[in-house]
Amino acid sequence: MSCSITIYHNPGCGTSRNVLGLIRNSGEEPHVIEYLKTPPDRETLRALIAAMGTPVRDVLRQKGTPYDALGLSDPKWTDEQLIDFMLEHPILINRPIVVTPMGTRLCRPSEAVLDILPQPQRGAFNKEDGEPVIDAEGRRV
């Protein structure tokens, strides 16, 4: 069976780990791309941003990145220049980005992934911090 879900994942990110857990809780084993080790190329990054239907700036991560040091809040930067920065510093790519047959989304907060998962949740799921997301019947809490 071919994998129908891809997650651009950072295992050091709690939100990314929670999203991966929600995908697996739906019975799917996604194709996991640790994008800090294997960053997307320019065409893939452009395609992901286009598929999300979001401005390039909305995909930039500020916290824990060189965003401020690079002056990326300055409106002078074009979308192509911002993509250049993301390719040079993959940590600037906000995460996790999930691709499913139902759409592509930046899954922040982690529950956003539920809107694009083809299969329902199969049981209870709590975030790492203990916050319940899915009840025992597989419904959102």
Its domain, for residue 63, covers: 6-134
Q: What is the model's pLDDT at position 118?
A: 95
Three-state SS at 66: coil
Counted domains in the chain: 1
What is this structure's pTM? 0.95
Indicate whether 86 belongs to any domain: yes
Residue of 13, 56, 83, 93 with catalytic role = 13
Token pair 């083809």 is found at 118
CA distance 80 to 60: 13
Q: What is the CATH number of the domain that holds 98?
A: 3.40.30.10
13 among known catalytic residues: yes
The pLDDT of residue 56 is 98
| pLDDT in 10s for each residue of the chain, 141 residues | 446 999 999 999 999 999 999 999 999 999 999 999 999 999 999 999 999 999 999 999 999 999 999 999 999 999 999 999 999 999 999 999 999 999 999 999 999 999 999 999 999 999 999 999 999 999 999
